[in-house]
Amino acid sequence: NPVLIDLMAQGIVTGIAMNGACIVHDSELALAGKTSEDVGAVLGDGRFGAARETGEFVNRAIQQGAARGIGIGQALGEAMEAEELPHRDKSLLAAGVRYGVPVTVHVAMGADIVHIHPAADGAAIGQTSYADFERFCRAVAELEGGVYCNVGSAVLLPEVFLKALTAVRNLGYTVRRFTTANFDFIRHYRPLTNVVHRPTAEGGRGFHFTGHHELLLPLVALAVKERLHAAGWRRQGDG
């Protein structure tokens, strides 16, 4: 998270999309400063995903967001700031609010531990996740000349990206010449097809990088910052 938050603060990363698992880990980082669970040790007796604090915080924020007509990403980020969670400086969701960077959340219902919490509200989850899909589409509509990176999502986010891309093209937006990159430990069919190859077939460029995120992403971030700063790049609004 610190690497991405630094890029958000500098205006290099202008949007983040995440799945439902990411909000669980991001919220736990903001709440406790760490996130971990030994699934094998607790699955047998039904304790997997049963942490009270995570489910209560996430579902409460989602329901508040639904009442306000906003998406999950904004709702969670604003809740972290409003409740002054002790480690929110480590959170991508809170950073999105702090730096004005849209963070969208794309949920597969039933796939995340917060969905089995007593406070879960399927209608609120669906409403706020769909609001984030619309927000994501607005970002994709402005992707011409930009870069889209898929980091570690093997199925869900590649599918969401492809649907958003076809939606904005259908509405008449020109999104042809852009760069995509997929980062993962191994090569998967879906990201290679839906991120690297198909979207860039009409003028863009797609790349795949195989390796550990904790090694690759800091190196890529450093290279991008060096290249931009050497070219005299400044964040919009800076003097």
- Number of CB atoms found within 10 A of residue 171's CB: 9
The fraction of the chain above a pLDDT of 70, given in percent, is: 98
Residues in the chain: 239
The 10s digit of each residue's pLDDT in 38-85 is: 788 778 778 777 788 999 999 999 999 999 999 999 999 999 999 999
The predicted pLDDT at position 101 comes to 98
The 10s digit of each residue's pLDDT in 84-112 is: 999 999 999 999 999 999 999 999 999 99
Answer yes or no: are the C-beta atoms of 161 and 140 closer than 8 Å. yes
207: nearest Cα among 14, 227, 199: 199
Answer yes or no: are the C-beta atoms of 84 and 97 closer than 8 Å. no
15: nearest Cα among 103, 92, 89: 103
Q: Above 60 in pLDDT, residue 236? A: no
Greater pLDDT, 232 or 176: 176
Q: Residue 99: CA atoms inside 13 Å, Cβ hemisphere, count? A: 25
Q: How far apart are CA 183 and CA 152, in angstroms?
A: 6
Report, as an integer, the average pLDDT of 192-212.
95
Q: Residue 18: CA atoms inside 13 Å, Cβ hemisphere, count? A: 24
- Number of CB atoms found within 10 A of residue 18's CB: 23
Amino acid at 176: R
Q: How far apart are CA 97 and CA 80, in angstroms?
A: 9
Q: Above 60 in pLDDT, residue 237? A: no
Report, as an integer, the average pLDDT of 120-124.
98
The 10s digit of each residue's pLDDT in 8-41 is: 999 999 999 999 999 999 999 999 999 877 788 7
Q: How far apart are CA 114 and CA 103, in angstroms?
A: 19
The predicted pLDDT at position 234 comes to 76
Q: How far apart are CA 79 and CA 206, in angstroms?
A: 36
Q: How far apart are CA 219 and CA 97, in angstroms?
A: 26
Q: How far apart are CA 145 and CA 18, in angstroms?
A: 22
Tell me the two tokens of residue 32: 């406790």
The 10s digit of each residue's pLDDT in 135-156 is: 999 999 999 999 999 998 989 9
Q: Above 50 in pLDDT, residue 119? A: yes
5: nearest Cα among 118, 72, 98: 98
The predicted pLDDT at position 238 comes to 56
The predicted pLDDT at position 239 comes to 45
